[in-house]
Amino acid sequence: MAISAALPLIHRRVIRGQENPLDRATVVSIYPRPLDEYKYTLFPGRWTMNPGSYDKPEVLTVGPSSWFFDKDEESPIVEIPVGALQIAESIVKDYAGAVLEATLGECQPGLFFLPGTITSAQVKTDHKARLDHANQLQKNWYLKLVKVADSLWARSNGNPIAISDDMRMAATELHLVDKPWLQDYHAVAMVKCFACGNLRNPEYPICPSCKYIDQTHPRAKDLKFAV
């Protein structure tokens, strides 16, 4: 079968350039959750880490990645290499800066990066100052999450769906076991208040909006008010 000259066959494939074996960086995590970071424009573009802790930091050695510029079918595909330090910085900042209530450099998950290939033991001995700083930033983030959780708990009249898993994790890590929203609650089906129509938690006898008292609630008779 003849192939038309107007439809030439174009065979193109991408081949990465030689990688520098010394171009390495290490991402360190004391964040008690797994990390799965994916960057669609880079190759390789996915990095995963197990949960870490202050006593046992989790480390991930990363190398350089590349992105590719493809102008048209007739032009060569241009490889744009990205160094390992830039990759490590991107992993840390893109993840830590995107979680609820995080502010980079002030309060954030315990993630940071170091140049070269570093073991978990070396992090604890040779980079203890960085480890302590990351631990303090993570504690600051935990305290902020707990403060937000307290506010949401009060404003939602004790509705457990207002509290995120990160907030419960923060209270657990800070050993604040007395928090009422830390318990393993089931989602509460909110009901309309008979008097004002606003949603209220049926586990409590008083509507937080209009202060109407549901006399059918079993605990209504136990309410006492100051004169």
**What is the structure's pLDDT at 187?**
52
Residue 223: the pLDDT is: 80
Distance CA 80, CA 8 (A): 28
Proportion of the chain in helix, strand, coil states, percent, rounded to 5: 30, 20, 50
Which residues in the chain land under pLDDT 70? 1-14, 184-189, 226-227
**Tens of pLDDT along 144-156?**
999 999 999 988 8
Let me know: does 50 contact 37? Beta carbons within 8 Å: no
Residues 22/116, Cβ–Cβ less than 8 Å: no
The domain ranges of the chain are: 25-139, 158-222
Burial (Cβ within 10 Å: 0-12, 13-18, ≥19) of residue 170: buried
Q: Give the helix ranges, DSSP H, for the chain.
A: 84-96, 120-126, 128-155, 165-173
What residues contact residue 131 under an 8 Å CB cut-off, 6+ apart?
28, 30, 54, 57, 123, 124
pLDDT tens figures, 50-77 = 999 999 999 999 999 998 887 777 777 8
Whole-number Å distance between alpha carbons of 203 and 149: 19
pLDDT tens readout for residues 189-208: 678 888 898 888 888 888 88
pTM for this one? 0.74
Bridge partners of 125?
A: none
